Amino acid sequence: MVIRRSPLLLSALLVFAALSLAQGAPRKNGTITGTWFGSFIDKNPDGRVSHDTAILVVRQAGSTFSGSLGPTIDQQTPWNDGSVKGNRLQFHLDADGGLNVTLALHPSSLTGSATGQRVNAQLDLKPAPGLLPHEQLVEEITKADRELFDAFDNCDVPRYGEFLSKHLEFYQDHTGKTGYQENLQALQNRCAEGIHLRRELEPGSLIVNAVPGCGAIQAGIQRFYSRGQDGKEHLDATTRFTNIWSKKSGTWKLVRVISYDHR
């Protein structure tokens, strides 16, 4: 299977995701470790202001803090020997002539500054669970998708429900908008009628992109094969789909599904 990125898809659907998903939920344990996403606003000596994104990764091993910082999750500069005093994280980054970064931890954000010879920037970051390097993200979303449809294909309703958010919104060009309970009931009813569907991805169609602060966008083309009580299988439908996954609960769950172009 060929996995490819689609910046066009990301930009087209980011607004939709942002309208529906709350970014930066407060961290239950108040930890500073993890992945953070937000703004990097640099004020130049001549007064000009430049705006960029910032992604910060913070790791802890015992009393030692390390991590990386950069404009995207795949463009990161490492740092080591960070320190935490109270609610403040401090570290030095060997970039742009050297940067000293000081950030304060709040219930749902990290804010502070990055200063150096050529940089005088303010950072405002929020938790970004599920924001992973692209290859790792593709691997995790592909695994979650496979397990979701293993449950779907085998009529395992409880297992299927584990991959759906309780706040699921499912949009389909034939049945309209449905939610979490309606989708579980539909699977249960269909299986009780002896109708079994098998889902198959079209090779080379899968697209996976990160949505910082929200999760991931997954899109592609899928086919559904129907098998009746006589055991014979036939093509039931071919559709396009766009899914939005979230890892805010700790595991990947579908929060939005768009299924369209049924034929």
Any idea what the CATH number is for the domain that residue 236 is in?
Answer: 3.10.450.50
Q: For residue 38, what are the domain limits? A: 34-127
Residue 28 lies in a domain: no
| 120 bridge partner residues | 115
Q: What is the pLDDT of residue 30?
A: 62
pLDDT given for residue 118 in this prediction: 85
Spatial contact of 110 and 32, defined as CB atoms under 8 Å apart: yes
pLDDT, tens digit, 9 for 90 and up, residues 39-61? 999 998 888 999 999 999 999 99
Where a domain ends, among 127, 156, 183? 127
What does 66-86 look like in DSSP terms, one character per residue?
EEEEEEETTEEEEEEEEEEET
Do 91 and 65 lie in one domain? The reply is: yes
Same domain? 118 vs 58? yes
pLDDT at residue 4 tops 50: no
Chain CA centroid to CA 159, Å = 21
Asked if the structure places residue 206 within a domain, the reply is: yes
Q: Which of 88, 104, 127 is the last residue of a domain?
A: 127
Q: Which of 244, 239, 182, 187 is nearest to 210 (CA)?
A: 244
58-112 confidence digits (pLDDT tens): 999 999 999 999 999 999 999 999 999 999 999 999 877 889 999 999 999 999 9
DSSP 229-246: TT--EEEEEEEEEEEEEE
User: What average pLDDT does this structure show over 114-125?
Assistant: 94
User: What percentage of residues in the chain have a pLDDT greater than 90?
Assistant: 78
Is residue 109 domain-shared with residue 137, that is, in the same domain? no
Choose among 66, 40, 42: nearest CA to 53.
Answer: 40
Are 76 and 111 members of one domain? yes
Domain count, the chain: 2
Q: Are residues 191 and 248 in the same domain?
A: yes
The residues, any chain, with a CB within 8 Å of residue 262's CB and separated by 6 or more, are 172, 173, 174, 237, 238, 239
Q: pLDDT tens digits for 154-208?
A: 999 999 999 999 999 999 999 999 999 999 999 999 999 988 899 999 999 999 9
Predicted pLDDT of residue 181: 98
**Residue 68: which CATH number?**
2.40.128.120
Domain assignment of residue 27, yes or no: no
- The answer, yes or no, to whether residue 10 has pLDDT greater than 60, is no
Q: Higher pLDDT residue, 117 or 237?
A: 237
pLDDT the model gives residue 153: 95
Residues 64 and 192 in one domain: no
Residues 135 and 241 in one domain: yes
The type of residue at 77 is T
Residues 64, 192 share a domain: no
Residue from 74, 78, 77, 55 nearest 5 by CA:
74
Tokens read off for 91: 């570290």
User: Could you give phi then psi for residue 174, rounded to 5 degrees?
Assistant: -110, -40
Q: Encode pLDDT of 136-146 as tens digits.
A: 999 999 999 99
The pLDDT of 241-248, averaged and rounded, is 96
Task: Looking at the structure, tell me whether residues 166 and 219 fall in a common domain.
Answer: yes
Calpha distance 158→83 (Å, rounded)? 44
Q: What residues contact 190, with CB distance under 8 A and at least 6 apart?
A: 197
Residue at which a domain ends, from 106, 127, 148? 127
Reply yes or no on whether the pLDDT at 128 is more than 90: yes
Type and span of the H or E element at 122: strand 120-127
Residue 97 lies inside a defined structural domain of this protein: yes
Q: Is 250 domain-assigned? A: yes
Instruction: Please check whether residue 93 lies inside any domain of the structure.
Output: yes
Nearest to 163 by CA among 243, 226, 260, 259: 243
Q: For the CA atoms of the chain, what is the radius of gyration?
A: 22
Quickly count: other Cβ atoms within 10 Å of residue 182's Cβ. 13
- 177 and 215 inside one domain: yes
**Do 60 and 74 fall into the same domain?**
yes
Judge if 145 and 253 occupy the same domain.
Answer: yes
d(CA 39, CA 51): 7
